[in-house]
Chain A
Amino acid sequence: MYCHTPCGPWSTVVHYTWNRVPLGMQTKPDLCDELCLIDVMEDKLKGEVMDLQHGSLFCKTHKIVGDKDYSTTAHSKVVVVTAGARQQEGESRLNLVQRNVNIFKFIIPQIVKYSPNAILLVVSNPVDILTYVAWKLSGFPRHRVIGSGTNLDSGRFRHLMGEKLHLHPSSCHGWIIGEHGDSSVPVWSGVNVAGVSLKGLNPDMGTDADKEDWKHVHKMVVNGAYEVIKLKGYTSWAIGMSVADLVESILKNLHKVHPVSTLVKGMHGVKEEVFLSVPCVLGNSGLTDIIHMTLKPEEEKQLSNSAETLWGVQKELTL
């Protein structure tokens, strides 16, 4: 039993098919007072719930439940959606689409039914398209449907940048925006350490002429997922931690800026109703503001090209 106060218990629902986000979230223990897991695979679900419950002594989340029935998810503040098929080795994200749309047509209305005021955080790939799908299917206002987007890509970029400069990633600032995937856009002009623009020090940064080949850093970000999948079969820890980071900003009303996938129609030359990652402010009402980046013409072009590609796929979907 949980107490039905007007603000509701802050439970986070994780719908998962492989064991990643719950454990990623354990790196930020004590984020929520109640955790609920949902899946169709009943045994796997029960096993995962029990395993987490057995760790209760070491946690501050007093209630961990799981069921295939969505009524268990009632009164969630944040719902993280990781459901769906995962990328196979070598498979691009866009190929997963229709498989995952059909799954969403089942789960999204159920989530909405039991938590009409929740904030949806979509992780399943291709995340930008599926965030659009979740938005359409849920009928939620756009500030309550967020895609994990390039939060992870930017995390990977800052890690690699840290390795190159022998600095901690949190002191390396760089933003990857746009599509989460092959055509993500590194905003070279913003890359800085202590406010010192790296492109100001090395004007060739991000171009093919660059002797330090920073462009390769971005390429490693794009390929990062494929490489991990090739080695261990899937990626889990980094995405889990990045999602926990987003959930923390929401639940603690931090108003931190994160690159996440949101509706970008009308911005940066995008004409279609698509979701792409741009820096957004996250608080307890969801996505409260978008940071308007000053992009170079070629960066804007990349965004509008992504938008066209995504729309090309989206318009063929049966929702």
Chain B
Amino acid sequence: MSSVMQKLLTPVASGPAEPPRNKVTVVGVGMVGMACAVSVLLRDLADELALVDVMEDKLKGEMMDLQHGSLFLKTSKIVADKDYAVTANSRIVVVSAGVRQQEGESRLNLVQRNVNIFKHIIPQIVKHSPNCTLIVVSNPVDVLTYVTWKLSGLPKHRVIGSGTNLDSARFRFLMAERLGIHASSFNGWVLGEHGDTSVPVWSGVNVAGVNLQKLNPEFGLDGDKEDWKATHKAVVDSAYEVIKLKGYTNWAIGLSVADLTESIIKNMSRIHPVSTMVKDMYGIGEEVFLSLPCVLNSNGVGSVINMTLTDAEVGQLKKSADTLWGIQKDLKDI
């Protein structure tokens, strides 16, 4: 007796299903991972989404909740498993796994806890998606991007840290608020370490090509009557403030990761401040990852913009590099 389906549909094309072209995997279904997943879904970036985590019930529940929204989405396949086979053929893998910052905890303190987790995840990702581009979000992101690069064996242009993409977005938002304009009309770059010692490149800050430092030579300095430097401090403090208020941050980081994903999947060659391998730039001798403006396209990092930095700014980058190397050299088994 034929089923409803057999009565209803006459198949025309048979054979195995085509592999996905724009599959995105998110590793870690905590608040950040889910915010990344939802941002990617709402922007119609992926034709398949895979979620991986160790907490099986939570994982399944999140997957089902997303699947139930399928009617309103354009991503036809949403899967999840603790077995990494489910991640096969991904174009982009977002790594948000790991423990999060506790209130008052600096990012650098998280390190060894998260390295041990990565030693398990990264090889599995690469095994099932050897051609993917990895976007590392877990903190401390610059160190963990280095760790990921080492553990994956992938070329450096295919391992990116979300880096100061979010710091720059916060910077542009807070600065634009002071001027009553939209963040996208405010051009400013925060580079270097994602966190306490990020570097705002004051000399490049402009609106409609009008360089703000030329309007106010004290711009970004301590003597500045308008105290623009305070706005950068607010950027550094903002994660701590949000964590204090709601326990974690997730929406902004999720949206910023979707933004990076879009540039890569759509081969756009847009420039984003992301964490990349900076050895031999700006006098940095160690293998560290820091954020610089990178051209993102289907290769991952296509090229890096050579910034015209002041000596003080270069000094700050070098100092961050030294701090990061100080931590990295003591990490075990990578």
Q: Which residues of A contact B (CB under 8 A)?
A: 162, 166-168, 170-171, 173-175, 187, 189-197, 200-201, 249, 254-257, 259, 279, 281, 288-289, 291-294
Which residue of B184, B214, B295, B307 is within 8 Å of A195 (Cβ)? B307
* Contact among A171, A255, A294 with B180 in the assembled complex (CB-CB below 8 Å): A255
Tell whether, in the assembled complex, residue A171 and residue B269 are in contact, meaning their CB atoms are under 8 Å apart: yes
Residues of B within 8 A of A173 (CB): 187, 206, 209
Residues of A within 8 A of B293 (CB): 193-194
Query: Are B307 and A196 touching (Cβ within 8 A)?
Result: yes
The 10 closest A-B pairs by CB, nearest first: A190-B209, A195-B204, A279-B208, A194-B293, A257-B185, A171-B271, A256-B182, A168-B270, A194-B305, A291-B208
Q: Which residues of A contact B270 (CB under 8 A)?
A: 167-168, 170-171
Chain B residues with CB under 8 A of A281: 180-181, 185
Specify which of B189, B206, B210, B306 lies most central, judged by the most chain A CB atoms within 10 Å of its CB.
Answer: B210
Question: Is A294 in contact with B210, judged by CB distance below 8 angstroms?
Answer: yes
B239 at the interface (CB under 8 A from A): no
A291-B271 CB under 8 A given contacts A192-B204, A194-B307, A195-B187: no
Contacts of A293 in B (CB 8 A): 208-210
The distance from the CB of A300 to the nearest CB of chain B, in whole angstroms, is 14
Q: Mark B236-278, 1 if CB is under 8 A from A, else 0.
A: 0000000000000000000000000001000011110000000
Please, how many angstroms separate the alpha-carbon atoms of A291 and B271 in the complex?
25
Q: List 24 A-B contacts (CB under 8 A).
A: A162-B269, A168-B268, A173-B209, A190-B206, A191-B209, A192-B206, A193-B293, A193-B305, A194-B189, A194-B204, A195-B188, A195-B307, A196-B306, A201-B308, A256-B181, A256-B184, A257-B181, A279-B210, A281-B181, A288-B180, A291-B210, A293-B209, A294-B210, A294-B214
Contacts known (A167-B295, A194-B305, A256-B181); A291 close to B269, Cβ less than 8 A: no
Decide if B328 is an interface residue (CB 8 Å cutoff).
Answer: no
Residues of A within 8 A of B35 (CB): none
Q: How far is the CA of A291 from the CA of B187 in the complex (A)?
A: 14
Residues in B with CB closer than 8 Å to A196 are: 204, 305-308
Shortest beta-carbon distance, B21 to chain A, in Å?
21
Of chain A, the residue at the smallest CB distance from B303 is A166
B22 at the interface (CB under 8 A from A): no
Known: A193-B271, A196-B204. A255 touches B181 (CB 8 A): yes
A292, closest chain B residue (CB): B210
- The complex places the Cα of A84 from the Cα of B166 at a distance, in Å, of 47
Residue B203 interfacial (CB < 8 Å): yes
**Contact residues, B198-224 vs A (CB, 8 A):** 201, 203-211, 214-215
A29 to chain B, nearest CB (A): 13
Given A196-B308, A294-B215, check contact A167 B269 (CB 8 Å).
yes
Q: Chain A contacts of B189 at CB under 8 A?
A: 194-195
The complex places the Cα of A192 from the Cα of B293 at a distance, in Å, of 13
| List of A residues within 8 angstroms of B295 by Cβ | 166-167, 171
Contact of B182 among A168, A190, A255 (CB under 8 A): A255
- The answer to whether A168 and B269 have CB atoms under 8 Å apart is yes
Q: Of B180, B184, B271, which is within 8 A of A167 by CB?
A: B271
Name the residue of chain B whose CB is nearest to the CB of A291. Answer: B208
Inter-subunit contact B207/A257 (CB<8 Å): yes
- Min C-beta distance of A108 to chain B, whole Å: 30
Kindly identify, within residues 281 to 306 of chain B, every residue whose CB is under 8 Å from any CB belonging to chain A: 293, 295, 305-306
Q: Which residues of A contact B205 (CB under 8 A)?
A: 195
Residues of A within 8 A of B307 (CB): 194-196
Residues of B within 8 A of A254 (CB): 182
Q: Which residue of A lies closest to B294 (CB)?
A: A194
Known: A173-B187, A195-B307, A196-B307. A189 touches B182 (CB 8 A): no
Given contacts A195-B188, A256-B182, A281-B181, contact A291 B206 (CB under 8 A): no
